[in-house]
A and B are shown apart, each in its own frame.
Chain A
Amino acid sequence: MMEFLIAWWANVPEAAAAYALAALGLLLCERSGVLNLTAEGLMLVGAMAAMGAALQIEGYPGMALVVGMLAAALVSLLFALLVVTLRVNQVIAGLAIVFFCQGFTQLLGVMFDWQNHPVPGLLPVRIPLLADMPIIGRVLFEQNGVVYLIVPIFFAVQWVLHQTRAGLRLRSVGENPEAADAAGVSVPLVRFGAIVAGSALIGLAGGLLSVGGVKMWFPDMAGGRGWIAVALVIFARWQPWRALAGAVLFGCIESLVPRIAAAGIRVPQYFMLMTPYVITLVVMAWTAWKGRSRSSEPGALGQPFSREERR
């Protein structure tokens, strides 16, 4: 039993890290008032770009992840152009970008033949002494570098949002862009910045899936994790620490599924694979039923800002 629990928990941090990065990225973006549905697509871009880089320059998985972040940030510029400058409906623009990314990554990945080539990828880093502790050592201190990076990234997001002038601007643009505009804050600039910064984190989440997790690339490998991250942000009521807690929850569920199969417990496989989606639905319904999510939603979420049509 203990064996099973440790094997399960040891896989949780990595699975949770992808959700946490994607959710924190989305959260940055949505606190500035931009409804961001692009996560699924940007994760695919991050995953493909990171794998492409890992196959070209062997031995530098960190560099590969940076390439993934840059690629996702680059694609997000197109999204920002659509929703901020051209004021396109944010749902349509988000969906269009997701499908753009799905087509684009599949096309490039297949044409360059990046499919199913395993790479060494990110290796676990043992933290001396701490990793020797029973149970906790295996679970928390034998992870890859990105998992440890979650901690500073989380505090950075929290600090930027709540302690800095830039964060105040970002939140004011998300709550009431008219007031922010009148106070001299450039709404388009802040939103561009939030989208690009958030998307870089989402790209890192994607790179973690390919270079960190399965260590190879195949089409549509994000498998709905981007959509779950979008739901997670709603469940987290746009609060970073709640997003982190939600990410751990989904990390637990995701890493439990293969463990159960590996332990030889006979349950219908495809019903197990359904569980993350079903649980997301249940969590969304539960959050809505508690009825507090609406009030903590950024005031201008999903509404394009146009100075010319100020009410």
Chain B
Amino acid sequence: MRSLRRGRPVVAARRRMSAAFDAAVTTVAILAGLALSAFILVVAGVPAEELANEFIVNTLTDADNLRAVLAQAAPLAFVGVGAALAFRVRFWNLGLEGQMIAGSVAATAIALADVGPPVWRLFLMLVAAMAAGMAWALVPALLKLRLGVNEVISSLLLNYVALNFLLHLLYGSWKDPVDAFPHSPAFDPFERLPDLGWGLNAALPLVAAAAVFAAWLLGRSRAGFYMRFVHANPSVALAKGLPVAALVLTAVLLSGGYAALAGVCLSVGQEGRLTQAFFAGYGFSGILIAFLARNNALAAVVVAFLVAVLFVSGQSLQVFYQIPFAMVRLIEAIVIISAAASEFFLRYQVRWLR
């Protein structure tokens, strides 16, 4: 009886939802997540008055840092759009890092074996990378479509398989003979993504084209329309006679191909050789980007840029304040948790009933 007198909160499903309200709630949630992260950073020993400086002013106004942000944004946009493609057909592709590894291993194999004339080398590397990324994504896709195996676990486990295969190569036959470190020999200049001047390489136009293609596919094409149908209700889509399996397979394979290209941006583009941990942290970033962008390819590019700002700030925090780079992972997780929690307020109204 006491609870009746004092009143209690009542949750009711929201009938209408405006785009403006949606955007406002999501923005507030992300800002709340960032505020909490800022608090943790202050506790960890970063002076509060330096935070804004580190995160916003330095990354966007300093030419070197802006270059670093743009370079970082390319692979992030690739994984983000890749994740969005798979999520559009309700396929949890958590194997993005494994697909990045598979792609870079294939590209490196082409480079080390000197396949084809030098003029065509880079093109062949990109094609091989995409093929390998797709092949790596094909495994969980087929397991799900044929046998109904949960793709969350199967795609994730394949990351560990790919990682161990990478280490096998780097500690074995691909070890650099020059310095005997566990990374591959450096690529020749014509095997790297070309420079476009101002310190930026060809990854940027590549990712722009890829994002526009994905946006067209998801937003404008017939297949994209069908994919939205599959996302809304796979069994009804199947009953309506849509080729659900083919749609899922297309989206997942593209997702794997995009993830492979993200790997290429890092190994072939930035590092110029295959290294041990070039992919670390990109898988979850891709999921975060796709989630915050609501699986929209163009929005994913914008979010990828913001995550790149976070990455570059994280690197300078590491240099200047000895904050481990894991902080970036933590901030990403906090942001995604607060954004996911905020969806409750989009879907439900909470009133106080007396």
Contact = CB atoms under 8 A, between A and B. Distances in A.
A88 B340 contact: yes
B160 A308 contact: no
B329 A270 contact: no
Nearest to A104: B330
Interface SS of chain A: helix, strand, loop or mixed? Answer: helix
B94 A111 contact: no
A274 B284 contact: no
Interface stretch (B55-63, B150-158, B258-266): B150-158
Nearest to B287: A95
A104 B333 CA distance: 9
A37 interface: yes
Contacts of A100: 330, 333-334, 337
A268 to B, nearest CB: 6
A223 B152 CA distance: 17
A277 B159 CA distance: 9
B92 interface: yes
Contacts of A273: 164
A48 B291 CA distance: 29
9 contacts: A87-B344, A88-B343, A106-B324, A107-B327, A111-B324, A271-B168, A274-B164, A281-B157, A284-B153
B155 to A, nearest CB: 10
Given A278-B161, A308-B11, 7 more contacts: A78-B337, A82-B341, A92-B340, A102-B329, A103-B328, A284-B150, A308-B12
Contacts of A228: 157
Given A88-B343, A288-B147, A268 B168 contact: yes
Contact of B143 (A269, A278, A285): A285
Contact of A88 (B92, B156, B323, B341): B341
Interface of B: 11-13, 44, 92, 94, 143, 147-150, 152-154, 156-158, 160-161, 164-165, 167-168, 171-172, 284, 287, 291, 323-324, 326-334, 336-337, 340-341, 343-344, 347-348
A227 B153 CA distance: 7
A74 interface: no
A137 B341 CA distance: 52
A110 interface: yes
7 closest A-B pairs by beta carbon, nearest first, are: A103-B330, A103-B329, A106-B326, A270-B168, A100-B333, A288-B147, A86-B344
A262 B347 CA distance: 57
A271 B169 CA distance: 11
Contacts of B94: 95
B165 A270 contact: yes
Contacts of B333: 96-97, 99-100, 102-104
A82 B347 CA distance: 14
Contacts of A51: none
B176 to A, nearest CB: 17
Contacts of A59: none
A309 B11 CA distance: 10
A294 interface: yes
Contact of B284 (A78, A99, A288, A289): A99
B327 A309 contact: no
Contact of B160 (A93, A97, A107, A224): A224
Contact of A288 (B149, B157, B171): B149
B44 A284 contact: no
B164 A95 contact: no
A103 B326 contact: yes
A309 B329 contact: no
Interface range for A? 35 or more
Interface in A65-88: 78, 82, 86-88
Contacts of A42: none
A110 B157 contact: no
A144 interface: no
Contacts of B284: 95, 99
A94 B81 CA distance: 22
Contacts of B156: 224, 227
Interface in A84-125: 86-89, 91-93, 95-97, 99-100, 102-104, 106-107, 110-111
A288 B164 CA distance: 26
Given A99-B329, A100-B334, A306-B11, A110 B153 contact: no
Contacts of A93: 337, 340
User: Which of A97, A99, A110 is most buried by chain B, counting CB atoms within 10 A of its CB?
Assistant: A99
Nearest to A293: B148
A98 to B, nearest CB: 8
Nearest to A294: B148
User: Which of B143, B165, B329 is most buried by chain A, counting CB atoms within 10 A of its CB?
Assistant: B329
A92 B165 CA distance: 28
A99 B44 CA distance: 19
Nearest to A219: B326
A47 interface: no
A52 to B, nearest CB: 16
A176 interface: no
A67 B92 CA distance: 34
A234 interface: yes
A231 B329 contact: no
Given A106-B326, A219-B326, A294-B148, A89 B340 contact: yes
A270 B344 contact: no
A82 B160 contact: no
Given A274-B160, A277-B160, A96 B336 contact: yes
A231 B12 contact: no
B143 A277 contact: no
Contacts of A234: 150, 153
User: Which of A271, A273, A281 is most buried by chain B, counting CB atoms within 10 A of its CB?
Assistant: A281
A268 B284 CA distance: 30
Contacts of A110: 324, 326
